[in-house]
Amino acid sequence: MKVSIVVPAYNEERTITEVLDRVAGAPYPEAVSEVEIVAVDDCSRDGTAARLAAYRPPAAGARPCRFSWFRHEVNRGKGAALRTGFAQVTGEVIVVQDADLEYDPADYPALFAPILAGKAEVVIGSRFLGGPHRVLFFWHLVGNRFLTLLSNMFTGLNMSDMETCYKVFTREVKERLRLTSERFGFEPEFTARVARMGVRVYEVPISYNGRTYAEGKKIGWADGIEAIWCIFKFNLWGR
Ligand SMILES: Nc1nc2c(ncn2[C@@H]2O[C@H](COP(=O)(O)OP(=O)(O)OP(=O)(O)O)[C@@H](O)[C@H]2O)c(=O)[nH]1
Ligand SMILES: [Mg+2]
């Protein structure tokens, strides 16, 4: 089975190379015969593009690992960067991997397991199911809980972490997705569309190494407001 990892990156020069190394060297299950990494530089203003241009994945034993990257001419947001990546990938299973080291490819075995076992078409890595996580912002937890609750009220799913980066899904799901979001609307849009497809969704616990604003955290209260709007938009009108 070939897996495709899509890495959206905006001003991530401090972490991008290590993220790609961790993705290339992740503990893939036996069933994974080939790894394709596609990074999308969302018109970063720092050295992200230079790091991507210089990147060569380390040899990963007998399993081929191919790397390619694409660049947006203007900054368009995470959702747009992901759509650029999704259009390029050819794997049977697709993984979203943020470029900021908050999420660890060491969790891939757990994330792939429900799909490999034939039990799910979509797997969500939840930060709120007891996995190890850095203890940080209380009000972000409250915000996350609220956004997930609101999304669940529309979708009817009992998800515990709608805004998580780790979303893993089959090629068939990717082809049916028809995404439109440019920025962080991706998370509620993905969730709403998957819920409407009626495919089987699993959640697994993952670790979360949250960062502080001094360490590069960018998300702010305005993104939370946009997320509320997107939950309404994609569940009520985004058909
Ligand atoms: N913030 C931001 N991230 C983008 C953009 N385009 C792509 N990304 C990437 O999307 C991923 C998620 O963005 P993050 O800023 O880490 O979002 P987050 O994890 O919800 O929030 P923080 O880590 O708190 O900033 C990262 O890999 C970013 O580099 C963009 O325009 N803005
Ligand atoms: Mg992040």
Top mutation candidate among 16, 98, 103 for ligand 1, by most atoms within 8 Å of CB: 98
79 lines ligand 1 (CB under 6 A): no
The pTM (predicted TM-score) of the whole model is: 0.95
Cα 234-209-50 angle, rounded to 5 deg: 80
Beta partners for residue 41, in sequence order: 9, 71
Beta partners for residue 170, in sequence order: 93
Q: Are 107 and 93 in contact (CB under 8 A)?
A: no
CATH classification of the domain holding 70? 3.90.550.10
* 146 Cα to the center of ligand 1, angstroms: 20
Number of domains in the chain: 1
Output the pLDDT for position 216: 80
Q: Which domain holds residue 27?
A: 2-237
Beta strand 2-9 pairing with 34-41: parallel
What is the chain's mean pLDDT, rounded? 95
Top mutation candidate among 75, 218, 223 for ligand 1, by most atoms within 8 Å of CB: 218
Complete DSSP assignment for 35-99: EEEEEEE---SSTHHHHHHH--PPP-TTS-EEEEEEE-SS---HHHHHHHHHHH---SEEEE--S
Output the pLDDT for position 194: 97
In the three-class reduction of DSSP (H, G, I as helix; E, B as strand; rest coil), residue 171 is classed as helix
* 44 Cα to the center of ligand 2, angstroms: 15
Convert the pLDDT of each residue in 41-96 to its tens digit. Answer: 999 999 999 999 999 988 767 789 999 999 999 999 999 999 999 999 999 999 99
pLDDT(221) > 90: no
Nearest to 123 by CA among 93, 154, 89: 93
How far, CA to CA in Å, does 239 sit from each of 143, 178, 193, 197? 26, 10, 8, 11
User: Reduced to 3 DSSP states, what percent helix, strand and coil does the chain have, rounded to the nearest 5?
Assistant: 40, 20, 45
What distance in Å separates the CA atoms of residue 224 and residue 230, rounded to the nearest whole number?
A: 10
Output the pLDDT for position 239: 63
Output the pLDDT for position 137: 87
152 lines ligand 1 (CB under 6 A): no
Output the pLDDT for position 136: 83
State what percent of residues in the chain have pLDDT above 90.
85
Output the pLDDT for position 161: 97
Read off the pLDDT of each residue in 105-112 and give the average, rounded to a whole number.
98
Q: How many CB atoms lie within 10 A of CB 228?
A: 15
Q: Cα(first)–Cα(last) distance of the chain, in Å?
A: 32
Convert the pLDDT of each residue in 114-166 to its tens digit. Answer: 999 999 999 999 999 988 888 888 998 999 999 999 999 999 999 999 999 99
* 216 Cα to the center of ligand 1, angstroms: 10
Question: Which atom of ligand 1 has the smallest separation from the CA of 7?
Answer: 27
Beta strand 34-41 pairing with 65-71: parallel
User: Which one of the ligands is nearest to 187 CA?
Assistant: 1
